[in-house]
Amino acid sequence: MGAGVDAAELEKICGAWPGTSAVTRREDELVLSVGDRAFATLCLCGPERDRISFAVEAGRFVEMTAQAGIVPAHYAARPFWITLTEPERFTPAQVEDFLRRSYELVRACLSKRQQAALAASAPSPKRVPRKPRT
């Protein structure tokens, strides 16, 4: 599988998404936010170094935490957050998909005004031709 994702990679992946910011908190945690609301965290040191936590849909929480390498996050104020305890089990593409979905979930909870501002700042999506189904 993958080799995990470090802080620089996380900032590169998520930094292109509209309204995303990254801040180091308490010198041991990188917090990725949209509209001042966290959608992911990365532990930077200690025994939990390189563990990534993020939001998931309520309906996927049990399914996700049943997988090896994933546990419920220890944030009491953040229900339906999970932690990748073994991020190396997942490819960078899988981690990016998890983070993108978390970003979308948190972004959807922002005010209409904040969402409109983010939509206005987003670059136009490039059209990619669809591959025919086989």
Q: Does residue 1 carry a pLDDT above 50?
A: no
Six-digit token pair at 8?
């620089």
Name 55's Cβ contacts closer than 8 Å, sequence gap at least 6. Answer: 39, 40, 78, 80, 81, 102, 105, 106
Q: How far is CA 128 from the centre of its chain?
A: 24
Task: Give the pTM.
Answer: 0.81
Q: What is the tens place of the pLDDT at every residue in 34-74?
A: 988 999 999 988 888 889 999 999 999 999 999 999 999 98
Please, what CATH class does the domain formed by 7-115 belong to? Answer: alpha beta
Query: Confidence band (pLDDT; 50, 70, 90) for 119?
Result: confident
Q: Please give the residue that has the higher pLDDT: either 32 or 78.
A: 32
pLDDT of residue 128: 47
Asked if 29 and 38 touch (Cβ cutoff 8 Å), the reply is no
| Domain segments of the chain as ranges | 7-115
Q: What is the edge-to-edge ordering of all strands in the sheet holding 29-34? A: 20-25, 29-34, 37-43, 52-55, 81-84, 70-72
Percent of the chain residues past pLDDT 70, beyond the cut:
86
Asked if 56 and 101 touch (Cβ cutoff 8 Å), the reply is yes
Percent of the chain residues past pLDDT 90, beyond the cut:
42
Asked if 105 and 55 touch (Cβ cutoff 8 Å), the reply is yes
Query: Confidence band (pLDDT; 50, 70, 90) for 132?
Result: low
Q: What is the tens place of the pLDDT at every residue in 5-25?
A: 788 888 888 888 999 998 888
